[in-house]
Amino acid sequence: MGRLLDRLKAGSPSYAVEPTQEGFVLVAESHHRDEFDDLVRDLMATSSDEFVVIPVSDGSVGYERAVILPL
């Protein structure tokens, strides 16, 4: 697994990590929504052969979750 994936799986104050059978889900922490939104936007803008990011909108202009699927 790549270094970025390892860092994402380690967690952050801006999100919790929920493992899934295929990968893991980053779940936004309510007090760090702007930081989480920026992270998800950066992940989507960065081309990677390591993983796919599937963002889940909060119904407004941000994100509540991001599904990470390693390739």
pLDDT in tens, the chain (71 residues): 478 899 999 999 999 999 999 999 999 998 999 999 999 999 999 878 889 999 999 788 899 999 999 98
Please give the model's pTM, rounded to 2 decimal places: 0.90
Could you identify the residue written with the tokens 């801006």?
A: 14
28 and 63 Cβ atoms separated by less than 8 Å: yes
User: Which CATH number is 3-70's, of 3.30.70, 3.10.350, 1.20.120, 3.90.1070?
Assistant: 3.90.1070
Q: Starting at the edge strand that comes first in sequence, how are the strands of the sheet with 51-57 ordered? A: 15-19, 24-28, 63-70, 51-57
Give the span between the Cα atoms of 68 and 27, in whole angstroms. Answer: 11
DSSP state of 13: T
Distance between CA 71 and CA 2 in Å, rounded?
11
Half-sphere exposure of 53 (CA within 13 A, CB side): 21
Annotated domain spans of the chain: 3-70
